[in-house]
Amino acid sequence: MNKIKFLLLFIIFTKLAFPQQKYGTELLLDIAFPAGSQAKYFNTGIGVTGGFYYDIEHNIRLGLSIAYIRIGANSDEIRKYYQTLVSEGDLTMTGSIRALPINITFKLISPPGKQRFYGLLEGGLFTYWIKASGNYINNGGNVIIDKSEFRSEPGFALGVGTLFKLEETLSLDINVKFQFVKDSEFINVGNSEISTSRYLTIGAGLNWNFDIE
């Protein structure tokens, strides 16, 4: 009974403290650009982000986002890198990194209008599926590469964006985010690690916003 009373009091307090608040959903397509000193070993990636949010103030938004991003390996650059490590031999391989980031998002948004700017900070867990296959030949030996691994690592992002109002409850959302993830090994070549821990994403999509009665 006490729990029910507490829940009712909490709901009443929320109504009084944050009148006419909004909640909504978002769906964006993303282009991912690997960054950092080893960015050249990876190709431009693509992905999608979906989320839910709640406006606790007219300019403060909290949300939960789930994304899927796929970044392929640049086989030619990895091959060149291998050849700088050994005087003889050859390497052929293909591979990719698939990431599933799940983040808590905080946004600070400019006042309501036809166009609203925002800054964002988000953090959470990045689950990776790393896959690489091929072989390398050195000193007459042929070593088969066959790697498939799941890994989860913490990460966070900083970014900016703009909301362009299309209708009363619909906006076009465009943002740029710089993602920081704990170093994640993709493959070990000649006892030297190739990894990616930072990438830039550009996203564009729709944002649905609804009043809470």
The band of 16, judged by pLDDT with boundaries at 50, 70 and 90, is: very low
Q: What is the 3-state secondary structure (H, E, C) of the chain?
A: CHHHHHHHHHHHHHHHHCCCCEEEEEEEEEEEEEECCCHHHECCEEEEEEEEEEEEECCEEEEEEEEEEEEEECHHHHHHHHHHHCCCCEEEEEEEEEEEEEEEEEEEECCCCCEEEEEEEEEEEEEEEEEEEEEEEECCEEEEEEEEEEEEEEEEEEEEEEEEECCCCEEEEEEEEEEEEEEEEEEEECCEEEEEEEEEEEEEEEEEEEECC
Please give the distance of CA 26 from its chain centroid, rounded to a whole number.
14
- Work out the mean pLDDT of the chain and round it to a whole number: 83
127-146 mean pLDDT:
77
Q: Where are the domains of the chain?
A: 23-211
State the Cα–Cα distance between residues 80 and 211, nearest whole angstrom.
Answer: 56
Residue type, 170: L
State the Cα–Cα distance between residues 69 and 177, nearest whole angstrom.
Answer: 13
Write down the pLDDT at residue 70. Answer: 93
pLDDT per residue as tens digits for the range 143-192 = 777 778 888 889 999 999 999 999 988 999 999 999 988 766 677 666 66
State the Cα–Cα distance between residues 107 and 122, nearest whole angstrom.
Answer: 9
Phi, psi of 76 (to 5 degrees): -65, -45
Q: Are 210 and 34 in contact (CB under 8 A)?
A: no
14 has a pLDDT exceeding 50: no
Residue indicated by tokens 């980031």: 101
Share of the chain above pLDDT 70, in %: 81
| 144 against 106, higher pLDDT | 106
124-140 mean pLDDT:
81
141 has a pLDDT exceeding 90: no
9-29 mean pLDDT:
65
11 has a pLDDT exceeding 80: no
Write down the pLDDT at residue 132. Answer: 83
Please give the distance of CA 87 from its chain centroid, rounded to a whole number.
38
pLDDT per residue as tens digits for the range 35-54 = 888 888 889 999 999 999 99
State whether the Cα torsion 174-175-181-187 is positive or negative: positive
pLDDT per residue as tens digits for the range 22-31 = 889 999 999 9
Write down the pLDDT at residue 10. Answer: 45
Write down the pLDDT at residue 15. Answer: 46
Token digits of residue 140? 């007459």
| 72 against 184, higher pLDDT | 72
87 has a pLDDT exceeding 50: yes
- Does residue 36 come out as left (phi exceeding 0), alpha (psi in the -120 to 50 range) or beta? left
Write down the pLDDT at residue 58. Answer: 84
Provide the Cα torsion 206, 124, 199, 49; round to 10°. -20
73-79 mean pLDDT:
86
State the Cα–Cα distance between residues 73 and 91, nearest whole angstrom.
Answer: 13
107 has a pLDDT exceeding 80: yes
Q: Which fold has domain 23-211?
A: Porin (2.40.160)
